Structure 1
Amino acid sequence: MASAENQLIQQLPAVVRRRFLTRCEPFELLLSAELSVRDQPLTHAYFPRTGFISLVIDVDSHPPLEVGMVGVESMLGSELVLGLAKTPWRALVQGPGSSWRIGADAFRASLAEIHELQEVVRVSLLVRLHQQALASACERFHMIGPRLARWLLMSQDRARSDTFHLTQEVIALMLGVRRVGVTVAAGVFQGSGIIKYHRGTVTVLDRAALEAEACSCYAADKQIHAELTVHRH
């Protein structure tokens, strides 16, 4: 079966895309791998083809909190278009898969040389900034159940499957809550026949019902994602 492709790379004109990919290398996204460290210079940019990466903030002694998710629709390292080399978050692989990877210096050189690439990356960065602001408001104002539904939908979208692997520990970390809160919320969904959860494996049984349970941030996030599918000339 042909491998999936990153949607940002797909937006590039064919000739430009081929030229850029000669500078990249295939890179496997291994579960729990840390691709960037808080306040450390970015060494590479990543373009997921399958799987997804979570951007996680650590604040004092509080539980880590996810503030962004990067999948096939986006990239990790778009800050490099601004010349920035450090980020306030850690990037953790939460959904294993494959990606294209390019060194930070080579990526900066490509941005300077390829106008179409620069435009795509700038739009990607703008979209992610909107998403991070939305994630912060969601964490502050919405209850665990609707937030869990939203996060499961986002994970399913990027896993491209009704079944995917997520432990309760990971879900709690992503939502910034205690594990018991996840257990209760997930139990409600399972009891309603919306999902099946067993030994770290989630199966979405009723997608429409899960969307109905999700907070409004899921639809808002989808609308933001749609911006990435618009070809800009």
Structure 2
Amino acid sequence: MLNRLLEALPPSDRAHLLERCDSVPLAPPQVLYEPGDVIDHIHFPTSAFVSLVSTADGHDGLQAGMVGNEGALGWELSLGVQRAPLRALVQGPGLAWRLTAHAFARELSRSTPLARVLHRYVCVLLTEFGRSGLCHRFHAIEQRLARWLLTTQDCAHSTQLALTHEALGHMLGVRRVGITNAATALHARHLIDYRRGVITITDRAGLEQAACDCYRAHRRSYSELIPEGSRR
């Protein structure tokens, strides 16, 4: 499996960067960094996926975004920022390409396409972060749950997702009973099945209809800023 940002690079730039990367395993509940930590690596996931969690005042945190093989962890380095603003919590096991911050800075200075792709990806994330506040304020729990299940499936590349109701409650900022009620409603519509900490998406098209428009808006933003046609 490949990383889509790296695939958007010209072959020569991609090959030069990958020669300097290590392939590393990531597994939950690994934390790549906490807010304020120095970012010493950039990660380009290929099969792992990671939640970006906003934390404040000792609370468990609220999921602001998720990064799989469409993105990068440590993207702040492309802006010259050395410290993490969010917690990066591994949610799904797999592999990632890892490059030291120093080596990444050299690659960024020599590869205009790499800088362009990373800056466009930052725009995608900023749009998603901005939309998250509106989503949490105005959209029903059932719609938000459908959205995050679809996003998780996109990152996990599997219809079976190891997610407990408690974990989902922490990520969406709602009580566990709210997640249970929303999951029961989606199950009643034959969109998902769940048992023993595993949620199975049984009707992808139906779940997309049940999700709020934030899911479709994020996909549009990504395809517009990092189009398939830019891959050479």
- Classify the TM-score, shorter chain: over 0.9
Q: Are 1:93 and 2:90 counterparts?
A: yes
CA contact (8 A) 1:73 1:228 kept: no
Aligned with 1:218 (options 206, 212, 215): 215
Aligned match of 1:178 = 175
- Aligned residue pairs, count: 230
Q: Is contact 1:12-1:116 (8 Å) kept?
A: yes
Which stretch has the larger CA shift, 136-145 or 223-232?
Answer: 223-232
Contact residue 51 and residue 65 of structure 2 kept, 8 A: yes
- The offset of 1:181, in angstroms, is 0.9
CA displacement at 1:224 relative to structure 2:
1.2
1:36 correspondence with 2:33? yes
CA distance in 2, matches of 1:114, 1:77: 17
Per-residue Cα deviation, 1:60-100 (whole angstroms, up to 9, x for no partner): 14441011111111111111111101122100011211110
Superposition pairs of residues 107-186 of structure 1, within 5 angstroms: 107-186=104-183
Q: Quick one: distance in 2 between partners of 1:61 and 1:8?
A: 34
- Separation in 1 of the partners of 2:33 and 2:60? 19
Alignment partner of 1:110: what SS? helix
Which segments of 5 or more consecutive residues in structure 1 lack a partner in the other structure? none
Q: Name the % identity.
A: 42
Distance 2:132 2:97 in 1: 26
TM (norm. structure 2) is 0.95
1:152 & 1:142 partners in 2: Cα distance?
15
Give the Cα separation in 2 of the matches to 1:63 and 1:15.
43
Q: CA deviation at 1:212?
A: 1.3
The unaligned stretches of length 5 or more in structure 2 are none
Give the corresponding residue for 1:25: 22
Amino acid at match of 1:189: L
Aligned to 2:226, the other structure's residue is in SS state helix
Distance 1:208 1:166 in 2: 20
Alpha-carbon separation, structure 2, partners of 1:59 and 1:178:
17
Q: Distance in 2 between matches of 1:16 and 1:123?
A: 17
Amino acid at match of 1:221: H
- Alignment RMSD: 1.4
Deviations 1:30-79 (A, max 9, x none): 12210111111111101010131110011114441011111111111111
Which of 3, 6, 9 is 1:6 aligned to?
Answer: 3
| 2:6 alignment partner, SS class | helix
Contact 1:29 1:97 in 2 (8 A): yes
CA contact (8 A) 2:49 2:67 kept: yes
